[in-house]
Amino acid sequence: MHPSVHSVRAEYRTDSPFTGTSRPRLSWKTETTARGWTQAGADIEWRRGEAAAVARVEGPESVFVEWPFESLLPRERGSLRVRVHGADGQASDWSTPLEIRAGFLAEGEWRAKFLTVPEPADIGQPVLLRREFEVRQGLQAATLYSTARGLFQVEIGGVAVDDERFKPGWTAYKSRLVHETNDVTALLTVGPNAMGAALAGGWYTEGFGFHGEAKPFYGKYPSFAAQLVLEYDDGATEVIATGDGGWRATADGPVTASGIYAGEDYDARRAMPGWSTPGFDDSAFASAAWLDARTDTAKAITPVPRTAPPVRATKELPVAEVITTPSGRTVLDFGQNLVGHLRIRVSGREGDTVVLRHAEVLEHGELGVRPLRHAKATDRYTLAGNGVETWEPAFTFHGFRYAEIQGWPGEFDPADVTAVVVHSDMDRTGWFDSSHPQLNRLHENVVWGMRGNFLSIPTDCPQRDERLGWTGDIQVFTPTASYLFDADGFLASWLEDLALEQEAIGGVPFIVPSVLEWAKTPAAAWADAAAVVPSVLFERYADRGVLERQYPSMKGWVDQVAALAGERRLWEGGFQFGDWLDPNAPPDEPGQAKTDHDIVASAYLFRSARLVTAAARLLGLDEDAKRYEAYAEEVRAAWLREYVTPAGRIVSDAQTAYALAIMFELATEPELLARLGERLAALVAKADHRIGTGFVGTPLIQDALVRTGHAATARALLLQTGVPSWLYPVTMGATTIWERWDSMLEDGTINPGQMTSFNHYAFGAIADWMHRTLAGLAPLEPGYRRMLVAPVPLAGIDWAATEHETPYGRATVRWEAGDGVLAVRVTVPPNTSARVVLPGREPEEVGSGEHAWTVADPR
């Protein structure tokens, strides 16, 4: 069969033809039944109207191939096709054309001003803005560029311009704001038209902080900016922009209050039908409350195009059970802890108000709201009383499995309430399955945890008065995230904000975007995200561009810590999170871990220095590579000298300390490595095979055990169901990963600590080990161009399988053990190869195609 080309893409986004760069990198995948197929070259055709250009790319590259044509101009559009040539001499047909459109503005072309509600207004007051305009004959194209300091949606002629939520998302607002780009040609008609924007404060006006001391960080009022570019067939261009006059605003719309943490209030009696259609000013719904919009005088920055995937509603869940609590309240159980909101269908009298309260768990039969702290997580809908009314909030989200319904008029029908799942709309790319139902539920919990916490930024939790971009959480979770979903564009965008915040404050903060004044102290394993996350994105996606862009940030972080470490080459003293949430830490002192903070800090200094070394070498920065490599070796020597005895004991005799030494390759001498592994296994066994690690050690411990020959210990640790363990929450009915190993105690009581969450993905980093080691699929070269197939079958598991949509295509591994035989089946995508390491066989290199082996069962 001739090869065929599919999945052609430009840069990161696959959901929109608009690209945010003038030279988008190109990727494609090849499908063929030919075994061992490799690409010898490719033809790329770029067509604009009747004009076409073809560029030839020699060699096997098909991921992030540099744009081979002239740079795109603003609003330029065309179609791109790819044809590949195999090393076997076979050529494919041309791929299906991919539409590409330049979604950016020219330098200096942004002229829109930010508009907001006329004063006086409450902080964060939701706003409606509108403007009428004329479109003449001969319109060829209409492109809308829009953004907000806050959250917004645009309607033209009463129709939303897209299905995205929480636009423009949360970025480092003081340094970077993104704009949306929409083709709105089909929404316009010759003659009068109208554009409206619904606006709420969102993260821009939200109060951040803990213990009831939250306060706004960015600004008091949300504001909106947009420009609509109309292109006519006579060559003329007209721009309609905010700030050019004619814009009206009101704070008297139906959304009366809105907050990320508080929830949303909607009064349907205040609805204004037709507010975004022409002629509204003459309707009965127009009122004196519509005044000239006010220009927001807060310092504005020019927005840049979106590169990350947008937030969308991706799934809907029905009510699984209606519960009457011991106190007589009505609570709905959706069977799954999720992030999003409720959509209700209700009828009643004018003025009836339905109250929706959200929580993740029940405690002794009632809604468990204590973990929400100061987040009210409550939505209110006041009926207009005009028949069946359907509503869902637009500018808030909640983390919940349960929802309490108050004030429902008439008889309640659970079919009238639906849970809408909302998150950044990334393509799913990774799956795991096995013969062990509890492991499968654990993996599904990891997937749901990622869905809930990848909402515009990678958050720590989605439900309480926090929901912040904690760097430590994503540092440990990025390998798992990069397997489960196509998270490259999402995390690359977030890393831009990390670098900007780092530049602004002189170091990497705990959270990005940085909104807490006290969260700017350097902290190991948290700020190390600056070096770790871009390195993982290169490893998993072959995204060299993110390494190039982030290299100054990576280097700056290591330089900052090196200055703190001084001549001893050890980062000692000062504030650290350490092995956060070690299971032995007291409920209200989660940083009191068994592993000393200094051991963790200096181990991470070594790791990040090595990552900078690797990045420098890849980027051709040889002097940097030599310098950071030498520095890393000095840190290694200091760490071993200070913390490890000749007998192979570490000063902190704890699971995390040994896992760090083994997996960060601080210890490389075989005899020492063996002793460290033996001690780690002994510690796990001594703890009755219960987990003894926090955020730092948890992603490492299973690999450390297997690497040092203790797979049986890793198996016992993995399958443990007592507390603390990965499977204990599964036995307690968890459907997401918990923040603490015992967020819910065995008697059904919520952990007494003031900080606990039932949707916190950090401990879900175990899924990466399940993919790479238990099922046996890992990257050997960037982007899985060469992969490692080396499953480690464990007793108690009869079979395991994983699939991953790599940048080159779908890879699969499945093993099944029984009757003394281990059968392994593997799919290697075209243009890649695999190193296969199976028990009792010499390692083998194979090319693309389907492969199968049978060996003796090693269990």
* Other Cβ atoms within 10 Å of 595 Cβ, number: 27
Could you tell me the two tokens for 488? 């490259």
In 698-760, the DSSP E strands lie at: none
pLDDT of 234 strictly over 80 = yes
Band (125; pLDDT cuts 50, 70, 90): confident
Integer-rounded Cα Rg, in Å, for the chain is 28
Across residues 150-177, what is the average pLDDT? 98
DSSP 828: E
* Other Cβ atoms within 10 Å of 176 Cβ, number: 18
Across residues 318-326, what is the average pLDDT? 98
The pLDDT value given to residue 285:
67
In 271-310, the DSSP E strands lie at: 291-292, 294-295, 304-305
Band (122; pLDDT cuts 50, 70, 90): confident
Predicted confidence (pLDDT) per residue in 419-448, tens digit: 999 999 999 999 999 999 999 999 999 999
pLDDT of 282 strictly over 80 = no
> Residue 433 is which amino acid?
D
Q: From CA 201, how far away is CA 721, in angstroms rounded?
A: 44
pLDDT of 46 strictly over 80 = yes
* Other Cβ atoms within 10 Å of 236 Cβ, number: 10
pLDDT of 261 strictly over 90 = yes
Predicted confidence (pLDDT) per residue in 788-806, tens digit: 999 999 999 999 999 999 9
Pair 314, 425: CB distance under 8 Å: yes
**How far from 327 is each of 200, 232, 323, 365, 411, CA to CA, in Å?**
35, 65, 11, 9, 19
**Out of 45, 264, 739, 805, which one is annotated catalytic?**
739
Across residues 774-784, what is the average pLDDT? 98
739 is catalytic: yes
pLDDT of 147 strictly over 90 = yes
Predicted TM-score of the model (pTM): 0.97
Q: Which long-range contacts (CB under 8 A, 24 or more apart) does 12-17 make?
A: 12/307, 12/308, 12/309, 12/488, 12/489, 12/492, 13/306, 13/307, 13/309, 13/489, 14/427, 14/486, 15/309, 15/310, 15/425, 16/103, 16/181, 17/77, 17/98, 17/99, 17/100, 17/101
The pLDDT value given to residue 71:
97
The pLDDT value given to residue 379:
98
Pairing mode, strands 398-406 and 178-183: unpaired
The pLDDT value given to residue 1:
67
User: Angle at the Cα of 691 (from 689 to 697), degrees rounded to 5?
Assistant: 130
What percent of the chain is predicted at pLDDT more than 70?
99
Looking at domain 4-102, which CATH architecture does it have?
Answer: Sandwich (2.60)
Q: Tokens 């990576």: give the residue.
A: 554
pLDDT of 289 strictly over 90 = no
The pLDDT value given to residue 68:
98
Predicted confidence (pLDDT) per residue in 552-562, tens digit: 999 999 999 99
Across residues 503-513, what is the average pLDDT? 96
Could you tell me the two tokens for 339? 């992030």
- 786-856: what fold? Maltose phosphorylase, domain 3 (2.60.420)
The CATH label, of 2.60.120.260, 3.40.50.300, 3.30.420.40, 3.40.190.10, for the domain at 115-305 is 2.60.120.260
Pair 158, 276: CB distance under 8 Å: yes
pLDDT of 269 strictly over 70 = yes
Across residues 86-95, what is the average pLDDT? 95
Band (161; pLDDT cuts 50, 70, 90): very high
**How far from 838 is each of 707, 826, 852, CA to CA, in Å?**
15, 12, 11
The pLDDT value given to residue 284:
66
Give Cβ neighbours of residue 440 (< 8 Å, ≥ 6 apart): 432, 433, 434
* Helix, strand, or coil (residue 76): coil
Could you tell me the two tokens for 206? 């939200």
The answer to whether the peptide bond before residue 724 is cis (omega within 30 degrees of 0) is yes
**Out of 466, 496, 803, 805, which one is annotated catalytic?**
466
Q: What average pLDDT does the structure give for the chain?
A: 96
411 is catalytic: no
Pair 551, 619: CB distance under 8 Å: yes
Across residues 513-537, what is the average pLDDT? 96
Band (306; pLDDT cuts 50, 70, 90): very high
Give Cβ neighbours of residue 25 (< 8 Å, ≥ 6 apart): 10, 11, 64, 65, 66, 67, 545
Across residues 836-850, what is the average pLDDT? 96
Domains of the chain by residue range: 4-102, 115-305, 786-856
What percent of the chain is predicted at pLDDT more than 90?
95
